[in-house]
Amino acid sequence: MGTYNIPRNVKGEGRILFIFSTKSLLYTVIGVVVGLPFYFLLSALKLKLIGIVIAAFFALIGFIIGTMKFPELGAFKATKKIGGENIDDIILRAIKFKKKGKKMYLYTKEEQKNG
């Protein structure tokens, strides 16, 4: 028997520190940068631990946005269309949609059944 390579999408699969892909590390750093003003403000008020927790919370949100895919829930019509897509792609598409104020069409490929 021979060995066969199965083609797959390897975009963003390079791992840093075992759990971070390049994209998720970038979004985590952005989350920390958003959380740092809260840390400095609460640090000045002698609430340093709460500031660290808030900065870590924003880092976690950044990690989730950079890593997770939107689940496909059958109960909702909108999730059927965007299920399985990266959360950051959905957010960027929503920002572009709001910015342009125009309609946006998303085409999906459907397989034909031979029968």
The three-state secondary structure class of 14 is coil
| Alpha-carbon gap, residue 28 to 13, rounded angstroms | 16
In a domain, 84, yes or no: yes
Q: State whether 21 and 61 are in the same domain.
A: yes
Q: State whether 46 and 88 are in the same domain.
A: no
Full-model pTM: 0.63
Q: State whether 77 and 112 are in the same domain.
A: yes
| Alpha-carbon gap, residue 27 to 65, rounded angstroms | 7
In a domain, 30, yes or no: yes
pLDDT per residue of the chain (115 residues) written in tens, 0 to 9: 677 676 666 554 566 666 777 788 888 899 999 999 999 999 999 999 999 999 999 999 988 888 887 777 777 666 666 777 788 887 888 788 788 776 666 666 666 666 5
* Domain extent for 19: 12-68
Number of domains in the chain: 2
